[in-house]
Amino acid sequence: MQDVVILGSGPAGLTAAIYTGRANKSTIVLAGASLGGQTGEIAKLENYPGWAGSGMELIQFMKKQAESFGAKIEFASATDIKFNEDKTFTVICDNGKTIDTKTVILATGAMARRLEIAGAREFFGKGVSYCATCDGFFYSGRDVLVYGGGNAALNDALYLADVAKSVRIVYRKSEFFRAEAVLRDRVAEKENIECIYNTELKSISQKPDSEKLIATTTTGDEIECDGIFVAIGHEANTDYLSESIKRDDMGRIIPESLPKGMFVAGDVHSNIKMQIATAVGTGCSAGMDAIAYLNSKD
């Protein structure tokens, strides 16, 4: 019987493992399909305090630190979690293994919903981004397009308006129905934001002999820009969870619905900003909560 099983090897899961391992609680981290999660994808990480390097380098340090305190990293994903009568859990893995544990920390992250149009994959990281706070800085004084019309898109547009020369929000509906009024008002007040409604993108290509991108709409109009920020929603990685655990409209876990002994951290936690700093903060909290829970049982 393990003390702690942590699902996810992003910054939230690895931080939790550093805390639980260091408190001498036997800890297994299920890494999932990718060690480091979304952070592992970041080529140049500039807004995590005290760090200058790639996301994967940071993850490798966190992994080593967690392992130095006895945490074991296993390369498997959870497919189910059983709630046992004695208030313990059994985690079922995709490699056929089952792990009995007294506590579980859910740190399986979330994925930005990907834009599935021609060119979107090709130009990902080369002009197409899913994170304005991460990549906006690279577009200082340039022209960018935000694709989407919810709170995330408007927040991205407002953030980018302070960095970029111009921001065009392209949205498929006639108004920002889904966004909060305060955001709509702020967008309307910004002189360098233009809203293009009733418009969908069909493809992304590069302007010949230039670094500029061309976003082509379904009606054939072409919008020239330096960067395209896609904000069409996030999907939390929670397929392995039962219906009894409540999720918000992004599929993120509402902590109040978790049974005793189960904790949540990082992007999969409802109501936190999706950043490495918050993943680390909530990973620390979840680790400490698991330790306190285990100590209360001893």
* Residue closest to 285 by CA, chosen among 91, 36, 15, 60: 15
Q: Which is nearer to ligand FAD, 14 or 294 (CB)?
A: 14
* Amino acid, single-letter form, for residue 112: A
**Cβ atoms within 10 A of the Cβ of 223, count?**
18
* Least gap, CB of 105 to ligand FAD (angstroms): 11
Q: Give the integer Cα–Cα distance in Å for 211 and 203.
A: 16
Q: Is 93 a catalytic residue?
A: no
Burial status of residue 181 (CB atoms within 10 A of its CB: 0-12, 13-18, 19 or more): exposed
* Least gap, CB of 13 to ligand FAD (angstroms): 5
Catalytic residue among 3, 135, 156, 226: 135
Q: Give the integer Cα–Cα distance in Å for 273 and 279.
A: 9
Structure tokens at 216: 């082509």
256 DSSP assignment: G
For binding to ligand FAD (CB under 6 A), which residues are involved?
7-13, 30-34, 37-39, 41-42, 45, 47-48, 77-78, 107-109, 112, 130-131, 134, 237, 240, 266-267, 274-277, 279
Q: Which is nearer to ligand FAD, 92 or 196 (CB)?
A: 92
Q: Is 267 a catalytic residue?
A: no
Q: Which is nearer to ligand FAD, 195 or 236 (CB)?
A: 236
Report the alpha-carbon angle 84-88-92, nearest 5: 70
* Least gap, CB of 184 to ligand FAD (angstroms): 25
Catalytic residue among 80, 94, 100, 131: 131
Catalytic residue among 134, 156, 267, 289: 134
Q: Which is nearer to ligand FAD, 5 or 169 (CB)?
A: 5
* Least gap, CB of 174 to ligand FAD (angstroms): 30
Q: Which is nearer to ligand FAD, 37 or 261 (CB)?
A: 37
Q: Is 131 a catalytic residue?
A: yes
Distance of CA 151 to the CA centre of its chain: 16
* Least gap, CB of 264 to ligand FAD (angstroms): 10
Burial status of residue 113 (CB atoms within 10 A of its CB: 0-12, 13-18, 19 or more): middle
* Residue closest to 141 by CA, chosen among 114, 120, 169, 161: 161
Give 20's Cβ-side CA count (13 Å radius): 34
Catalytic residues: 131, 134-135
